[in-house]
Amino acid sequence: MSVEVRLVEVGKVTIGGGEPVIIAGPCSVEGLDMLRAVAAAAVEAEVSILRGGTYKPRTSPYSFQGLGLEGLQLLGQVGREFGLPVVSEVVAVEQVDTALEYLDMIQVGARNMHNFPLLSALGGVDRPVLLKRGFMATVEEWLMAAEYIVKEGNDRVVLCERGIRTFEHWTRNTLDISAVPLARMLGGYPVIVDPCHASGRRDLLEPLALAGLAAGADGIMLEVHPDPDKALSDGGQSLSIPGLVELAGKLKRVSTN
C-alpha cells in the first residue's frame, strides 16, 4: 500500500516525497550555547529541520513559559548558522507576524488544534504549517482543523500525530499509530510522528519511531537536549546528543532499506 500525499517544501527540505525527514531540537530554547550544541548534533545526524519551543503553553501558569521573542531570534540565528530550516510553535494570532520573520515552518500545538482564529490566520500566510493533533481530537476533527487552514488559501499543511489521551498511565499519552495511515489516506497530507510527547519515555522512542516509519509516516520529530536531566521542560522524554545521533542513524538505515 503506497499512498501519495501532497509534497510540502520547508526551505530546501521536501516532506512527503518518500524519504522520511527528521525534525529535532530542544523542547524549549534555553539559550544560545545549548541551541548551537543541538544544531551541531543535528547536522551530524543528518536531521532535516531544527525545532525549538519558544512560546510554551504549560498546564500551570507557574511553570517555565519559554523565552518568547528572544527564543525565536535565537532559533532563527542558529538555523542560519547551521543551514537548517527551523520550526517553532505560535499560540496566538498576534505572534504570527513576528514568527514569519524567523521561522521556515510554523507549528500549531495540540492545545491549539481547536483555536480556529489561529488556524484561519495561518491559512493566510505564505509558510508551511505543522499541525499537531489535539490529544482529545478524533482524526476527523484533526482533518477538519487542517481544512480551516487550507480554506484560507494555504495548503502547505503537514500533520503531526503526538498521542491521544487514554486511560493507560504507563505512557504520557497513547500513540495512535492507526492515525498515520488514516490521515495520509483520507486527508492526503504528509504525517510526522512525535514519539516523545506520545510516550513521555526515553526508552520507547526508538520502537515508536520505527513503528511510525513502518506505518508510512513521512518523518519523525524528536526532542533533544545536551543534558536532558537538567532540561527546563520534558527532560524525561528527550534524547541526549549521542542518543540523537544513534537513533537518527537507525532511522536512516531503515528508511533507505
**CB of 69: closest distance to a second copy in angstroms?**
14
Binding segment for a second copy (CB under 8 A), chosen from 45-53, 81-89, 198-206, 232-240, is: 198-206
Place of cell 532563527: 76
Q: Which of 117, 124, 242, 249 binds a second copy (CB under 8 A)?
A: 117
Does residue number 213 form part of the binding site for a second copy (CB under 8 A)? yes
Does residue number 155 form part of the binding site for a second copy (CB under 8 A)? no
Does residue number 160 form part of the binding site for a second copy (CB under 8 A)? no
Region 58-77 residues binding a second copy, contact defined as CB under 8 A: 58-62
End-to-end CA gap in the chain: 17
Tell me the C-alpha distance between 146 and 159, whole Å. Answer: 8
**CB of 214: closest distance to a second copy in angstroms?**
4
88: its cell numbers: 517553532
Nearest in space to 87 (alpha carbons), one of 36, 22, 17 = 22
Comparing CB distances to a second copy, the nearer of 32 and 214 is: 214
21: its cell numbers: 525527514
Nearest in space to 217 (alpha carbons), one of 256, 183, 244 = 183
Who contacts 180 (Cβ-Cβ below 8 Å, separation ≥6)? 161, 191, 193, 212, 215, 216, 217
Does residue number 236 form part of the binding site for a second copy (CB under 8 A)? no
Q: Which of 159, 208, 220, 232 binds a second copy (CB under 8 A)?
A: 208
Does residue number 147 form part of the binding site for a second copy (CB under 8 A)? yes
Helices 205-214 + 241-255 axis angle, to 10: 20
Q: Which of 7, 18, 92, 242 binds a second copy (CB under 8 A)?
A: 92
Does residue number 96 form part of the binding site for a second copy (CB under 8 A)? no
Does residue number 153 form part of the binding site for a second copy (CB under 8 A)? no
